[in-house]
Amino acid sequence: MERALSLNLLNAAGVVYFFGVTAACFFTADLLVLPRLSADGDLASPGCVRLLLYCVIAEVLANYFAVLRTSRRNSATSTVFARTPASTNGSSTVLGYSGLANAEFCLHCRAKRPPGAHHCPLCRVCVLGHDHHCFFTACCIGRCNRRHFLPLMLHVLLGSSLCVCLQYLYLARVFQPALSVNIWMYFYPITVVLYATGNADASVVAMVTLLFATLFGVLASFYFFFFQLLLVCRGQTPHEFAEVSAPAPKMSLGSCRRNCARVFGRCGLLQFLWPCPALPMPEDFARPAKTA
């Protein structure tokens, strides 16, 4: 009970953090940092930076809601698995997962689920191709929304890196000359001590807090994007990756191209330009790799 409560609190905190930091980064960059840096001539082409900021924020929000919208299709017991013909005996696959012959029984859902599906106690369903429960979107990442999760992480990485650079330039331009302190004041604990001893302004603390919250976004999105990219290319989920006893990926279709196509579809790169949740899931890619 206590664990469920703390997980739900973490779910809420993740969403608040995501929207709070995204909004704070966008509005400080657009209304405060960019006007000041362009007035001081610190940026070669502020118009291009502003356009990049708008594009990235639009991509982040579009991919975020695409992840949420498609997460409902991940339910292993209600949608995809229900479409699995009863005659499927493990020799063919549906969406790349072998059928009833290899099914496990979920005690929580009281239903069979295909291999690769895992039960999420927070979403209270078995999730097909379960990857992980994402606290920033408060939903599970699985078979049907993984193709939007990777573009989301890529755009969060781009956007947060851009904002960290702008915030750093702003701190260096506006606060450093006035306070005559060195670069170490941007290290968060030092900033707080300087503020407590009356040597730094509250606005400096606010900007450094935002800088570190954004930096956390850079590190988290960097980790998730490249780890996920590796797993997609190998045709794995983190559960399979963690299994020391399984050296070869069980769900792999045999080649990196086929594994990527199973997640992103035929025109997979389109998903990185703009999320297209309406594009059908690539069931035809899921047939077992041809053996020579």
Rule CB under 5 A: which residues touch Zn ion?
A: 106, 108-109, 119-120, 122-123, 126, 133, 140
CB of 108 to Zn ion, least distance (A): 4
Cβ proximity to Zn ion, 104 vs 201, nearer residue: 104
CB of residue 69 to Zn ion, shortest distance in Å: 15
- Report the half-sphere exposure of 29 (CA within 13 A, side-chain side): 30
Using CA atoms, how far apart are residues 77 and 111, in angstroms rounded to an integer? 7
Dist. CA 77–CA 114, nearest whole Å: 9
Residues 6+ apart with CB under 8 A from 10: 135
What SS3 state is found at 73? helix
Least CB distance to Zn ion at residue 131 (A)? 10
Distance CA 223, CA 185 (A): 27
Length of the chain: 292
Q: Which is nearer to Zn ion, 138 or 157 (CB)?
A: 138
> Which is closer to Zn ion, CB of 123 or CB of 158?
123
Q: Which is nearer to Zn ion, 122 or 220 (CB)?
A: 122
CB of 124 to Zn ion, least distance (A): 8
* CB of 127 closer than 8 Å to CB of 120: yes
Nearer of residues 76 and 185 to Zn ion, judged by Cβ: 76
Residue placing its CB nearer to Zn ion in the complex, 52 or 122: 122
Give the integer Cα–Cα distance in Å for 141 and 145: 6
* CA dihedral angle for residue 182, residue 184, residue 186, residue 191, rounded to 10 degrees: -100
Closest distance between Zn ion and the C-beta of residue 234, in Å?
A: 23
Taking the complex as a whole, how short is the minimal distance between the CB of residue 75 and Zn ion, in angstroms? 9
At 262, list the tokens. Answer: 């199973």
Cβ atoms of residues 78 and 123 within 8 Å: no
**Smallest gap, in angstroms, from Cβ of residue 154 to Zn ion?**
22
Residues with Cβ within 8 Å of 4's Cβ and at least 6 positions away in sequence, in order, are: 121, 122
> Partners of 75 in the beta sheet?
127
Smaller CB distance to Zn ion: residue 1 or 292?
1
